[in-house]
Amino acid sequence: MRPILPMLVLAAGLSLTACQPDAGEFDPPVQESTALSDTQIDELTRIGEFVEIEPNEFGPLPDFFDCVRENGGMLIASHRGGPAPGYPENAIETMQYGLEQGLLVHEIDVAESRDGVLFLMHDRTLGRTTTGEGFVADTDWDTIQRLNLVDNDGAITDFTAPKLSDVLLWAKQNHAIVELDKKETTSFRNIISHIRAAEAEQNVILITYNDAQAMDVARLAPDLMMTAGVNSRSHQQDLEAAGVNFDQVIAWMGISNPNPRAFQAVGSRGVETAFGTLGRPGERLDDQYWADGDPSEYQALADGGLTLLATDAPYRVAAALTADDIAYRSCLKR
């Protein structure tokens, strides 16, 4: 992949091993809350009243993904925002670095502090990725915002955990896509309220882990895109009957046993597919695929009809493939 011009770059991804359930067997192809806190209200008011941002460069998000699928492209999603040496996970600076390398999509994790501030954090505790300690749910934002983020090698950086509100504004300003993984400390309702306030609907994909969550998102925000596990045509029909609009869905296909037949079956119904090669070091497909230095397995995913690949090796995969170039060339607005 070649780097793309800053004004044409986007940014999102998926989470670790248990991020979403593995997909099941597919049919053959068919032709054809809680109330917001005062802190959150103040934050949302600030965003809505004082920020003016130009529209994105890729048009309505569902149309953009349709274009990528129809043109045989594949987008690369950097897991946890694409950490690299000196660039910790779930940091705006890391996503900006990824944008400058030409990465399109970043997955990030949304947690909530004890006093109701939504910010980026994967773990339940602060010790692995910051200079602090203790549980996220027991810590107030004033403490969290003073902590430095730590990269995957344990090096302390100058970066700090960003508020979700600031991430959404960054995504709009940089014509970026962010894929949001809701952690247990917060709710879809609170996340969606922030998306609405920032008017970032066309910059966001919400991750769901089960049918109940998919139906919840469809009820709260039928216009937002989401990933949802789909294991057969009849399963899709059941979700549609429950109110899930598959024009807004990217079908999650798991992190093991990639199935091009399933990619094609879902794609024939006008729905994009996502698959993850991420996971535990030594067990994930990323490690297996790169063991011989040959990235042909990734190309096979693209050739098999996959639209969105979530990976722990986004920079290396992007450099090795041209499927993302096809997506940019065919579907980005100039």
- Does residue 294 fall inside a structural domain? yes
Does the pLDDT value for residue 134 go beyond 90?
yes
Query: Tell me: the pLDDT tens digits for 44-60?
Result: 444 444 334 344 578 89
- Does residue 278 fall inside a structural domain? yes
- Does residue 152 fall inside a structural domain? yes
Helix or strand run (H / E) with residue 327 = helix 323-331
For residues 178 and 164, is the Cβ–Cβ distance under 8 A?
A: no
- b/e code 291-319 from CB counts within 10 Å (16+ = b): eeeebeebbebbebbbbbbbbbbbbebbe
Does the pLDDT value for residue 113 go beyond 80?
yes
- Does residue 34 fall inside a structural domain? no
Match 């910010």 to its residue by tokens.
119
Query: Tell me: the pLDDT tens digits for 267-298?
Result: 999 999 999 999 999 999 999 999 999 999 99
Average pLDDT of the residues in 9-38: 42
Q: Could you list the residue range(s) of the whole structural domain that residue 51 is in?
A: 6-24+40-331
- Does residue 31 fall inside a structural domain? no
- Does residue 45 fall inside a structural domain? yes
Does the pLDDT value for residue 148 go beyond 80?
yes
Half-sphere exposure of 161 (CA within 13 A, CB side): 30
Q: How far apart are CA 232 and CA 27, in angstroms?
A: 6
- Does residue 290 fall inside a structural domain? yes
Average pLDDT of the residues in 304-326: 95
What CATH number is given to the structural domain containing 11? 3.20.20.190
The number of folded domains in the chain is: 1
Output the pTM of the full model: 0.86
Parallel/antiparallel/unpaired status of strands 177-182 and 204-207: parallel
- Does residue 212 fall inside a structural domain? yes
Parallel/antiparallel/unpaired status of strands 272-276 and 75-78: unpaired
Average pLDDT of the residues in 154-179: 96
Query: Tell me: the pLDDT tens digits for 173-210?
Result: 999 899 999 999 999 999 999 999 999 999 999 999 99
